[in-house]
Amino acid sequence: MSRPARPLCAILWSPDLVDEFGRTMASIGRLDARISASSVAPAWMLRASWTGYATALRLQRHEIDEIDVISHFTGVSIPGRPPVVTAGDPFGAYADWAAELAAGHDRHWREDIPFTFDIPDGWRDAPPLARALAVLDSWSRQDNTPAPWLAFPKLLRRMNLTRNPLPCLVTGDPGLRFLHGTREAQLKRLLKSLRELADEGLRRLGRLEGYRMRYGAAVGAEHRPGHLPRLGTLALETPFLAARTLVDRFDITLSGAGKLLSRAAEKGLLVETSGRTSWRLYVTPDVGIALGIVAPPRGRPPSPSRSSPALDTVLAEFDREMAEIDQMLSDHSRKHTET
């Protein structure tokens, strides 16, 4: 008879584990604090949800990358990417998961666990993050679907480890299900994974905030911006854009849509990624860099433009539309909870 696995909250803390734990907590705290004060939080949350969902699929051994997740949920085909062929519906859990993340966190964390969780050894003296990982560890052996990995950001919030839902902090380790490797090594891998995810989430947030400022400055400098402001708002929701995407949304011709995208690309607000195809596809720089299909800029980033009435007006409009997106997500979450 095999011995029961030692709970992750009962692991003896070596100096290396203590160091990794401190760095991880600091990284999560920095990301959580920045999101709380960011005007692009709704757009970042949407992007982070694609990142987190892609992580969960990868942990389930699906050969599906983040770019495929974005393509699926935005309805934009990516040139050179083969269609996703897999058994079942790997994208089917996303809508409910995203709605649950956007919901309030007034419930106790144990109410979301679909199995009986007995408090393990070491729980009382363990730090909250170790407790959360112990729950993830136990859950992963009770459920072989992506649900345990996807639940972790919500668990962090329900256990008051974060103020905001941070979808990019979906994490896990397939070895937990089979107890491969030492428990100390598994705990250290989980902590390192969380730290790297939080650090990358913070970098992406910085690029997104910079994109908002650059876009606002470019629009503010235009005498006749036309559809450029609306294009910027759409790009925050749908980072991959093609001319046919704009025709119905903006009620313009295909030719006019192509010219609008080219105009934005000339100003560095979009980057063409289509290559030698019959139609052009563009991506926002922040997402292109994150996916590795756009080279990051060299040297120091340009200094933010000085404030001006035109820039202030454009940014205020961006913020208003971001607030509308946030409200839309909250309304969807409330309807999901009521049903």
The CA distance from 175 to 285, in Å, is 36
Helix, strand, coil fractions of the chain, as percent rounded to 5: 60, 0, 35
Give percent of the chain above pLDDT 70. Answer: 85
- Please tell me the predicted confidence (pLDDT) of residue 195: 98
88: left (phi over 0), alpha (psi -120 to 50) or beta: left
For residues 276-287, average pLDDT: 84
How far apart, in whole angstroms, are the C-alpha atoms of residue 305 and residue 166? 30
pLDDT band at 1 (very low <50, low <70, confident <90, very high): very low
- Judge whether residue 23 has pLDDT over 60: yes
Four-CA torsion 12, 18, 22, 23, nearest 10 degrees? -120
Mean pLDDT score, 100-111: 81
> What confidence tier does 336 reach under pLDDT thresholds 50, 70, 90?
very low
pLDDT-wise least confident of 17-31, 112-126, 141-155: 112-126
The SS3 assignment for 215 reads helix
Residue 279 pLDDT grade (very low, low, confident, very high; cuts 50, 70, 90): confident
The helix (run of H) or strand (run of E) holding residue 90 is none
Give CA separation, 325 vs 52, 102, 334, in Å. Answer: 20, 12, 14
DSSP assignment of 131-200, as one string? HHHHHHHHHHHH--SSHHHHHHHHHHHHTTS-SS--GGG----THHHHT-S-HHHHHHHHHHHHHHHHHH
Angle, CA of 61, 161 and 320, to the nearest 5°: 90
Q: 111 vs 246, which has greater pLDDT?
A: 246
Cβ-contact 298, 70 below 8 angstroms? no
pLDDT for 325 equals 55
Give the residue-averaged pLDDT of 186-201: 97
Confidence band, pLDDT 50/70/90 cuts, at residue 333:
very low
Residue 327 pLDDT > 70? no
Q: What is the mean pLDDT of the chain?
A: 87
Summarised one tens digit per residue, pLDDT across range 225-237 is 999 999 999 999 9
Cα 65 to Cα 62, 72, 243, distances in angstroms: 9, 11, 24
Backbone angles phi, psi at 282, to 5 degrees: -125, 155
For residues 83-119, b (16+ Cβ closer than 10 Å) or e, as one string? ebeeeeebbebbeebbbbbbbebeeebeeebeeeeee
108 pLDDT tier (thresholds 50, 70, 90) = confident
CB atoms inside a 10 Å sphere around CB 320: 10
Q: Which pLDDT belongs to residue 168?
A: 98
Angstrom distance (rounded) from CA 304 to CA 287: 20
More confident residue, 76 or 88: 76
pLDDT band at 43 (very low <50, low <70, confident <90, very high): very high
